[in-house]
Every structure is written in structure tokens, then in C-alpha cells.
Copies of this chain bind each other. A is one copy, B any other.
Amino acid sequence: MFSDINLNKSKPIYIQIHNYIKEMIEKGMLPSRSKLPSTRELSKILNVSRNSIMKAYETLEDNELVYTLKGKGTFVSDIKVTLKDKWDINWSNKINDYAKLAEELDIIKNEVQYKKGMISFKSISPDESLFEVEEFKRAFLNRISIEGEKILNYGYAQGYKRLIDYLMEYMKSKGVNINNKDILITNGFTEGFDIVLSSLTQKGDTIICENPTHNTALKIMKLKGLNILGIDVEHDGLSIKKLKSTLQQNNIKIGYLVPSYHNPTGIVTSSEKRGEIYNIFKEHNVPIIEDGFNEELLHLGSHIAPMAAFCGEGNSIIYIGSFSKILFPGMRIGWILADKGLISILESVKRSRNIHTSFLDQALLYEYMKSGNFEKYLKKTRRFYKEKYELAVQLVAKYIPCEFIMGDGGLHIFTKLKGIDSRELLKHCYKKGVIFTPGDIFYTDGSGKDTLRLGFSRVSMEDMKKGFKIIGETIRYIKTSYY
């Protein structure tokens, strides 16, 4: 920078240097509080006497452009740099349709805001008081001492190998045949699903899914410009009849299913149905994206095999897993298990998006899980959430008149009211300090206006009682006011 000063015989050297630095400061090229080179350094760079530099600096200080800290150096003062003709861009004119839609569909911005003191049934995040931070700390200290520098430097797009190997074994233990399959680590389910759709679909393709289904998945499908066909959900899985007819009557690119602890209904598709569904998709040669969403939460002893187990050696199911619903969602780790060749392509897509998921986080998750902490933690959380689930079911039965209640466990229940618009209900409940998620955001076709999802993972049993009671009272109030 200073190397482009042109010193000549027109004025004293120190004045030229002073003027140059003054101009740099005023143009904003030497920011406030930045350190100037030492007098010795600059004298060397410019090949002039140190005295000239010192005089220049003194003059700058007299003009209050710089200040000196003894033993530290000379620094640029806090000067307001007024640049004439401010150049402003009207960014709202520059946003494209994709970004506009991302904002429209952003429920964090467009739904009721939580206020301190409210009872909120919106969240299905895990209860962090269950997190075993001491165990996690131990995992960190172990891993960091073994390979601290390595995991803090660049890693590989596919993921941290030990975690990949661990997850392959984990999926194998769930009955999935892992021959010719591989795993890509992603930033949670959300990124996994976004990568898969980005790589396999085009605008205008048709996707089939449960109705209702996971709202974030719906958002991503819409952002990709897909045509979404929803299949009604029954108490034990989607409607086989509707699935058959929809697949027959349409040209479907791919399917998206959430067989365990479905969001928002909380139901678990029976193993019988999983087999039927698999065979119907197979008949039409339509591959399936399975949202793993934690069979781990099953309250009974056995796991139900994921649909990915039904492939056997076949490769027609893309399984996206994540432990976010119960374990450390803040770290954003998920995985895609699929055909080896497909994973290789998705790895390149991942690399182009953000190179790789945090290696520190992957290594910590691996260390934490391999120490057997996960099983212990699971037992604890299952008990904890099972209690709340059972209470939720009781409370609905007691306070909330509804057409049905769905949910086999997990972190939330889903209910359909009798002839009441849930957003109307939400408005009134909001005034009484209770909020929940209206169910229409989960529907593919604008229906479900009388449904709501009640998440209880982060609500105390006491607040659950209070909150459900208020919802029930509000329903009665609405009924007597309007009907």
C-alpha cells in the first residue's frame, strides 16, 4: 500500500508522507484504530530517513488524524469518513423468485411469535435438560487429544470416516442391507433432502408424499417447483387405496415418506403396511426417499425395520437419517444412505454447496456415540417422552373435543377439531398465553384447517395441564360465541 507513494522534490518529504496518509484516512482506506507501520518499518519501505517519518506522524497527530500509544505504536483516529454520493441498491428489486418464496414459506417469520411466559406447544425440539453435557465434554476431550488439529482443518465432502463407518453399522443393525450402498454426511435432514431433490428433480416434476407431512419438506418441494400429490394418512400409515390410484393415474418422479413418528401426526406405519407400500412403489418403479426421523423413539423394545430394509440388496430407497429429534440438533448432522454411485454424485453436489459438514461436530458425535452413551441416553429420553405422551393423550381426552387424535409416541400429537378453524382457535388462545402449530402448514392441498399439532417435548407436565385446559376452554368459548 505505502509502496505506491510517489515522493518528489516539490515539497518536504514529511509533508508528502503526511498528505498521503491523510488522504488514505479520509478515503476510508486506513480504517479507524488500524495501526500504521512503525517509523522504522516505513522508513525502510520508502527508503527515507526515519526522522521524516517521525515528523510526518507528529504532524498527523497534531491534526488529530492519528494517536500514539506508548510502546504500542501509532493508530488512525476514529474519524467519520464522509463519502459523497452514497450508493444504495434497492435490494428488494434484485431478489429472485426463489428467495422470495423462501421468505414467504418461512414459518419462523410468518407464524405467531412466542412471548416470554407463554405456554407454547409449537416446538418439537428435544428437551435440552436431558442432554448429557458431561458425557459430551468427555467425548470432546478424548477426540481433541487424539486428533485435534486434524478435525479442525479441512475434511472431506463425504464426511468423517469413523462416523460414516459407525452409521453404516448402525443402519445394518436396523436390518438395512449395506452392500453397494454408501453414506453422505449432511447438515441435518434439511440439507439431505435439499441435496437429493436438487440432484434428482426438475421444476414441474411430480412428487408423492403423505398428507399431511413434514412442513419443511413441503417447503423444499415447493422451492424446487415440484407438483405435490398428497396421500391421506390413516391411523397406521397412508391410504393404500389412494396410493395405488395416484401412482396409476400420474407420472410420479419420486416419493417422500416418513414411516416412523411421522411429522405432524406422530404415527408409526405398521410393518405390514410398510411392506405393502414398498411393493406398490416397486410396481410403478418410483423410488422412495425415506425420512428416518427416529425409530429410536419407539417405546417398545423392538425396532421396526425402516423401509430401506425392504430393498434387500436393491437400491431403490434413499434413506435420510438424523438424530436431531433427540440428540444435539445444534450441531446439524444428518446422513443420506443410498446406492453407492448415487452417493458419489451427491458428494460432489455437497462439495459445491459448502465443502463438507463440520468435521469437529462429526468427530464429537462419533466419539459420544461409540462410548455407548447413546443407548443410555435413549432409555432415559424414551421414558421421559413416553410419560409426556401419555399425559398428552389423557389431557386431550379430558379437555379437547376432537374428531381424532393421532400419535404413537414421540414428541407431539396431532388432532382434528370438530368444526373449528385452528387458526381462529390460535388467535383466541394467543390472548390467553397459549400457542400451538396450526395443522394447515402440513397439508399439500390447503386442507387441514381444523387440525393442529401439539408439541410437548419442551413443556413441563404442569404447563401441559394448564395449556390443554385453556385450549379446551377456548374451544368451548368459541362454540358458545358462534354456534
State the A residues within 8 Å of B (CB). Answer: 1-2, 4, 24, 27-38, 41, 45, 73, 81-83, 85-89, 91-92, 94-96, 98-100, 102-103, 105-106, 108-109, 125-126, 128-129, 131, 133, 136-137, 140-141, 144, 148-155, 157, 173-176, 186-188, 190-191, 194, 198-202, 216, 219-220, 223, 236, 268, 270-272, 274-275, 282, 285, 287, 300-305, 309-316, 324, 328-332, 338-339, 341-342, 344-346, 348-349, 351-361, 364
Q: How far is the CA of A137 from the CA of B86 in the complex (A)?
A: 45
Q: How far is the CA of A105 from the CA of B98 in the complex (A)?
A: 24
Checking B1, B45, B271 against A271 with a beta-carbon cut-off of 8 angstroms, the contacting residue is B1
Q: How far is the CA of A313 from the CA of B80 in the complex (A)?
A: 11
Contact B312 A190 (CB under 8 A): no
Q: How far is the CA of A236 from the CA of B4 in the complex (A)?
A: 10
Copies of this polypeptide in the complex: 2
Contact A358 B330 (CB under 8 A): yes
CB nearest neighbor in B for A94: B200
Smallest CB-CB A-B distances: 9 pairs: A31-B175, A99-B199, A128-B149, A83-B312, A187-B354, A133-B148, A29-B271, A191-B354, A330-B359
Contact A348 B106 (CB under 8 A): yes
Instruction: List residues of chain B with CB within 8 A of the CB of A149.
Output: 128-129, 131, 133
Q: Which of A28, A201, A202, A329 has the most CB of B within 10 A?
A: A28
Contact A105 B352 (CB under 8 A): yes
Given A125-B153, A128-B153, A341-B91, check contact A35 B301 (CB 8 Å): yes
Checking B109, B141, B312, B348 against A99 with a beta-carbon cut-off of 8 angstroms, the contacting residue is B348
